[in-house]
Amino acid sequence: MEPPVSEIRIGRRVQFHETDAAGLVHFSVFFRYMEEAEHALWRAAGLSIAPRGSEIGWPRLETSFEFREALRFEDEFEIAIRVVEVASRTIRYVCRLTKDGVHLATGRLTIVCVRKAAGEPMRAVAIPPEIAQRFRAVGEDEAEDRGTHERAVGT
């Protein structure tokens, strides 16, 4: 088995449909960027966040973004997402978007593991050990090159 994953970085280019009437990336798209990086992180860990037939799911418990600089059509940028906590039922991430070394935005996302049984309400359950062991949490402020298991994915 591969070592646990802590962080991943992916390159991206702004698509026209992601911009608003002012020519800027609409704020809601930043959440999609964060989720795209999250799914790449899970793939890097050898997992899918939503495998077919799974009895568990990962709804979003809490999410936010702090915006610093705008993105425009055709801008090339990087999305880095880092696991900052793996608790008994939740995983927490911090996501940072940069362009040419300039910090554009910081997002935070907490997901919760739930059991999905037909006809029953979802309820939070413990993260299965075979999933939890695939991720290694690192502190939000830890240096990015301090032992994180990182893989780059091209545009």
- Residues 57-94: tens digit of each pLDDT: 999 999 999 999 999 999 999 999 999 999 999 999 99
Q: Which residues of 39-48 are buried (b: 16+ CB within 10 A; e: fewer)?
A: bbbbebbebe
Q: What is the rounded average pLDDT of the residues 135-155?
A: 55
Residue 150 has pLDDT above 80, yes or no: no
Q: Could you tell me which of 42, 115, 49, 47 has the C-alpha nearest to residue 83? A: 42
Q: Quick one: how far is CA 88 from the chain centroid?
A: 18
In-domain check, residue 143: yes
In-domain check, residue 154: no
Taking phi first (over 0 means left), then psi (-120 to 50 degrees means alpha), and beta for anything else, what does residue 119 get? Answer: left
Q: Could you tell me which of 8, 6, 10 has the C-alpha nearest to residue 136? A: 6
In-domain check, residue 93: yes
In-domain check, residue 2: no
| Segment 15-52, tens digit of pLDDT | 999 999 999 999 999 999 999 999 999 999 999 999 99
Number of separate domains in the chain: 1
In-domain check, residue 17: yes
Which CATH number fits the domain that encloses residue 58? Answer: 3.10.129.10
**Pairing outcome for strands 90-99 and 76-86:** antiparallel
| Segment 125-138, tens digit of pLDDT | 999 999 999 999 99
Q: Which of 2-6, 40-44, 143-147 has the lowest mean pLDDT?
A: 143-147
Q: Residue 50 is part of which domain span?
A: 7-149
